[in-house]
Amino acid sequence: MPRTDQRPIQIAFDTAGTEGSPVLLVMGYCVPGKGWVNQVRDLSLHHRVAWFDNRGIGRSDRPPGPYTMADMAADAVAVMDQLGWQEAHLVGVSMGGMIAQHVALTYRHRLLSLSLLATHAGGFVSRMPTLRGLRHFIGGMFSKTTDDRLASLERLLYPPDWLAGSDRDAVRQALIEQFGDPVPQRTRTAQLAAVSGHHTRDRLHRLADLPTLIIQPTDDLLVRPAESERLLGLIPNATLLRLHATGHGLIRQRPREINLALLEHFANAELGARVR
């Protein structure tokens, strides 16, 4: 993976696609950027797509924490700068959706559209998952064995009915690729500090002119589904897509619906810009 020239922090990123407007994908808490694989395949047929490892993860630098959302938003823009992208469609999931909000608020002129998946606008209540979600999150982050960690992550990310009807070997293999290597404690703590400091509620009204899509997985155990409704009320003119019987692992569970919705959102945003 190439890396940004940004100093002192270098961010590892990768790209796919050679035509179309740019799309930047921002991943969530302690997950490498390759977790977007199911989106990259479809989106790169129509767009130039980039994804990256957040600081502390994968091949990006691991500076000591705590991190802030401002730090992580600047990392995302550094990837755009390295690629020579003046503008891009920005897509963020979970913590990546929080980072995306900060990019939009600080670098509004760099965005063609915004897409927020399974995320929230901050605040103590918003940060609190369901009790079941908290239990599985702790197991997924802190269990001593890989098998226990992956089992907890399965239950955190996917509804039981979906798991029951899925190829469990394929699901487990995907989790191994994304979560097989334990994340260092200092990275978990540093990124969690950024999540804890995230609060955009009183500023999101400034994004009224930015085409924004919110995608809500209705069975999310980690980010309460009501947070998507809250975002919808805070960002004027935003639209909401509900994915029923879908968990926090929505980008793997429902890739076709998500990818089609994103492509339509990008096209509508560009059409609206041309009309204006």
Do 118 and 217 touch, CB atoms closer than 8 A? yes
Nearest to 183 by CA among 15, 56, 8: 56
Nearest to 88 by CA among 118, 124, 114: 114
The topology under which CATH files domain 13-128+185-275 is: Rossmann fold (3.40.50)
Whole-number Å distance between alpha carbons of 212 and 241:
11
Whole-number Å distance between alpha carbons of 135 and 23:
34
Residue 124, Cβ neighbours under 10 Å: how many?
Answer: 8
Q: Specify the pTM.
A: 0.95
The amino acid occupying position 156 is L
Whole-number Å distance between alpha carbons of 68 and 73:
9
Whether the upstream peptide bond of residue 64 has omega within 30° of 0, thus cis, is no
Tens-level pLDDT at each residue, the chain (276 residues): 888 987 789 999 999 999 999 999 999 999 999 999 999 999 999 999 999 999 999 999 999 989 999 999 999 999 999 999 999 999 999 999 999 999 999 999 999 999 999 999 998 766 777 777 778 877 777 677 878 888 888 899 999 999 999 898 998 988 888 776 778 889 999 999 999 999 999 999 999 999 999 999 999 999 999 999 999 999 999 999 999 999 999 999 999 999 999 999 999 999 987 766
Domain boundaries, the chain: 13-128+185-275
